[in-house]
Amino acid sequence: MATDRRIARVAESIKREVSQLLISGIKDDRVGVGMVSVTHVDVAGDLQHAKIFVSIYGNDEAKAATMEGLKSATGFVRTELGQRVRLRRTPEVIFIEDNSIEAGTQMLSLLSRLSREREVAEANALQESELQASELQESEPQGSEPQASESDGATDSSLVSAEE
């Protein structure tokens, strides 16, 4: 069993080499249909299996074609890894589509939409409060004194004297 640091180093070197293969090594036209990038490599503790997570930019048809091309190029990728990375045994390679970037983009768009809706609601509330304040100012008579309320001190003393 390899240590965690060794597993991380092997995963990083596999990621680097597979990225180079995607740029120049794989000749399959299906791989070039969608823009492909390696996002993460997960290597098993015994260094016998490597899951390579790839992000594919494009429509659903391009993604499916690219994944088919990557699956058909698995043997080639494994032999190239065996030549480029010095290991006793070359790990078996499995390509997995990574949708985390798309999920993150969707989450960011939802958050920005929510922020815009909140700003619009605050602007509408501010306009409504200003409108109500201006209506109150217009409804008050100009130049008159405020009216005395019924609960003035004089009224209260007359109630007290009446009860006695």
Q: In angstroms, rounded to a whole number, what is the distance separating the alpha carbons of residues 51 and 44?
A: 8
pLDDT at 137: 79
pLDDT at 51: 94
Annotate 100-135 with b (16+ C-beta within 10 A) or e (fewer). eeeeeeeeeeeeeeeeeeeeeeeeeeeeeeeeeeee
Q: What is the pTM of this model?
A: 0.64
Q: Which of these, 41, 49, 53, 40, lies nearest to 89 by C-alpha position?
A: 49
Q: In angstroms, rounded to a whole number, what is the distance separating the alpha carbons of residues 25 and 80?
A: 9
pLDDT at 142: 61
pLDDT of the chain, 164 residues: tens digit per residue = 678 899 899 999 999 988 888 888 787 777 776 688 889 999 998 889 999 999 888 888 888 888 898 898 889 888 888 888 888 888 999 999 988 888 888 899 999 999 999 988 888 888 888 888 787 777 776 655 555 555 555 555 555 554 44
pLDDT at 52: 93
Three-class secondary structure of residue 68 per DSSP: helix
Q: Which helix (H) or strand (E) holds 42?
A: strand 35-43
* Domains in the chain, CATH or no CATH each: 4-99 (3.30.300.20)
pLDDT at 53: 94
Region of residue 78 (left: phi > 0; alpha: psi -120 to 50; beta: else): alpha
